[in-house]
Amino acid sequence: MKRRDVLGAAALLACGTSRAQTAPAFAAEDLQHAELLRAAGLQDTQAWAFVKELCDTIGPRPAGSDNERQAAAWAQARLTALGLANARTEPTPMKAWVRGPASATLVAPVTEPLVMAALGNSIAAPPAGIEAEIAWYTDFAALKADTTERAKGRIVFIDQKMARARDGSGYGPAVAARSQGAVEAARRGALAVGIRSIGTDHERIAHTGAMRYEIGVPRIPAFAVSVPDADRLAALHAAGKTLRLQLKLDAKSDVETTTQNVIAEVPGTDLADEIVLVSGHLDSWDLGRGAVDDGAGCAIVSAAAALIARAGRRPRRTVRVVLFGNEENGFHGAMSYGDRYKAVVHQLVSESDFGAGRIWQMKSRVQPAALPLIEKMASLLAPLGVAWPEQGANEGGPGPDAALLMRRHKWPAIGLAQDGTAYFDVHHTVHDTLERIDPATLPQNVACWAVTAWLAAQAPLPFGPAPL
């Protein structure tokens, strides 16, 4: 090795040593307290009690409905009872969509009723219904690629399949059929659009969910059928049969109402004006009882904050629980929160909205200087079975409402990824019920969230702005 190489190596070593010495670090007593929270979280019973009472006493909570308002009042009282401070509701106006009766019947080549559900925001069909031949497409890409008039005057059916994955990665490629299918079908002159349910189950249940229209494109009714019914249509189409469908669908749009966020806090000390936000969404679709999506998430973060509140030490920053309104069909709660608190420093935004499975991975979206702190946080979650990936560790997503706030305000974020292998079996269906939650998985979630929120509140430097 040449002399200048030796000197260069020595300089790099000295630089590395200097950086190691000056790297931000948590106080030893804060790490010890995090370990106590971790142990206490594993004994938690509050999360199960929260979601059970929510589902048993309120049930489904469509945005803007009386049930959602009742749930907000219940949650405000429940958060106070858990020992959190400043519990309140913050309403915001919205225009709601309200489901009515609907049915879809195959009338040729055979007569068979299909299990179906209208998609959120769908307009109603004409009072007499719609009866037309089906224009069948393998997937959404096939519809978008179609430059013929095959869809004109017909009911388009999109047979988009969804892949099962622990991280839910099959959802993104599939959900465009639901959200954008009506627009692409209408551009081609279709009378209505039906889709294979965006889900991973094989039961005769239909998955609802939001769809959208575009200005300047005709609005047509939109619905989903169960996976077995979609398989039946596909088999008939493959056999060369001409398919004909009768659709009846009633719904109301633009109903003037309000939704609301429910907020409560563990007040901070010297950095009380800075916020560590942990969240879920209180609204749900109307088909099930909103247990998995997202009663479980609301319960987990509420129990984690309650654990911090009663653990004997106040955090430096304020830990704020936000149970958002109308995540499912418009993000009114998240947008309202951002408008109201945009001038407030947020140390962290995060959301539990992927069911009740065990947390298996942590990712962040923080400024590079904060990464040593995130790595240390991850080390305290490791005994709970949570990994910090070698690749993409700082490219995380914090959940839907929190992600909207992250993008709009560059607020830093952490995502705690739950095992979602079975999540899309029940997502937006009649099977989203309390029975689909394993109470044994909730304490691990509470422990993870308590440790994460506590250490974010104690961190010696800001996590933001988020690198986007």
What is the signed CA dihedral for 71, 77, 80, 85, rounded to 10 degrees? 70
pLDDT at 348: 97
Q: How far apart are the first and last CA of the chain?
A: 42
Which CATH fold topology does 26-92+258-458 show?
Answer: Aminopeptidase (3.40.630)
Residue 102 has pLDDT above 70, yes or no: yes
Q: Delimit the CATH 3.50.30.30 region(s) of the chain.
A: 101-255
Half-sphere exposure of 32 (CA within 13 A, CB side): 5
Q: Assess whether pLDDT exceeds 60 at residue 330.
A: yes
| SS3 readout for the chain | CCHHHHHHHHHHHHHHHHHHHHCCCCCHHHHHHHHHHHHHHCCCCHHHHHHHHHHHHCCCCCCCCHHHHHHHHHHHHHHHHCCCEEEEEEEEEEEEEEEEEEEEEEEECCCEEECEEECECCCCCCCCCEEEEEEEECCHHHHHHCCCCCCCCCEEEECCCCCCCCCCCCHHHHHHHHHHHHHHHHHCCCCEEEEECCCCCCCCCCCCCECCCCCCCCCCCEEEECHHHHHHHHHHHHCCCCCEEEEEEEEEEEEEEEEEEEEEEECCCCEEEEEEEEEEECCCCCCCCCHHHHHHHHHHHHHHHHHHHCCCCCCCEEEEEEEECCCCCCCHHHHHHHHHHCCCCEEEEEECCCCCCCEEEEEEECCHHHHHHHHHHHHHHHHHCCECCCCCCCCCCCCHHHHHHHHHHCCCEEEEEECCCCHHHHCCCCCCCHHHCCHHHHHHHHHHHHHHHHHHHHCCCCCCCCCC
Between strands 359-365 and 112-114, the pairing is unpaired
Nearest to 383 by CA among 447, 304, 455, 459: 447
In this prediction, residue 3 has a pLDDT band, given cuts at 50, 70 and 90, of very low
Q: Which residues contact 382 (CB under 8 A, 6 or more apart)?
A: 388
pLDDT at residue 310, as a whole number: 97
CA separation for the pair 26, 34 (Å, rounded): 11
Q: For residues 51, 55, 58 and 64, what is the CA-based torsion angle, rounded to 10 degrees? A: 80
* pLDDT over 50 (residue 20): no
Q: Is pLDDT of 1 > 60?
A: no
Q: Are strands 413-418 and 359-365 parallel, antiparallel or unpaired?
A: antiparallel
- Both structure tokens of 32: 């010890």
**CA-only gyration radius of the chain, Å:** 25
Residue, of 12 and 115, whose pLDDT is higher: 115
What region, left, alpha or beta, does residue 35 occupy, with left being phi > 0 and alpha being psi -120 to 50 degrees?
Answer: alpha
Q: Is 327 a known active-site residue?
A: yes
β-strands 359-365, 346-351: how paired? unpaired
Q: Which residue has the higher pLDDT, 218 or 2?
A: 218
Q: In whole angstroms, what is the distance from residue 94 CA to residue 70 CA?
A: 17
pLDDT greater than 70 at residue 205:
yes
Q: Cβ atoms within 10 A of the Cβ of 113, count?
A: 11
Q: Residue 103 pairs with which residues in a beta bridge?
A: 248
Mean model confidence pLDDT for the chain: 95
Strand partners, 385: none
Give 340-366 pLDDT, tens digit per residue: 999 999 999 999 999 999 999 999 999
Q: Is the pLDDT of residue 168 over 90?
A: yes
Look at the block and give the residue holding tokens 């509470």.
446
What average pLDDT does this structure show over 292-302? 98
**286 pLDDT higher than 70:** yes
Cα–Cα distance for residue pair 140/173, rounded to 1 Å: 9
- What pTM was computed for the model? 0.94
Catalytic hit among 274, 327, 328, 351: 327
User: Range(s) for CATH 3.40.630.10 in the chain?
Assistant: 26-92+258-458
Q: Between the CA atoms of 171, 52, 327 and 315, what dihedral angle is there, to the nearest 10 degrees? A: -110
Q: Give the pLDDT band (50/70/90) at residue 159.
A: very high
Domain 101-255 CATH (choose: 1.10.260.40, 3.50.30.30, 3.60.20.10, 3.10.180.10)? 3.50.30.30
Q: What is the mean pLDDT of residues 288-315?
A: 98
What would the pLDDT profile of 43-84 be if each residue is shown by its tens digit?
999 999 999 999 999 999 999 999 999 999 999 999 999 999
For residue 426, how far is the Cα from the chain centroid?
A: 14
pLDDT at 4 over 70: no
pLDDT of residue 19: 42
Q: Which of 102, 167, 176, 191 is nearest to 139 (CA)?
A: 176
What does the pLDDT read at residue 21? 52
Predicted pLDDT at 120: 98
pLDDT on residue 155 = 98
pLDDT score for 23? 77
Rounded to the nearest angstrom, the gap between the alpha carbon of residue 450 and the centroid of all alpha carbons in its chain is 19
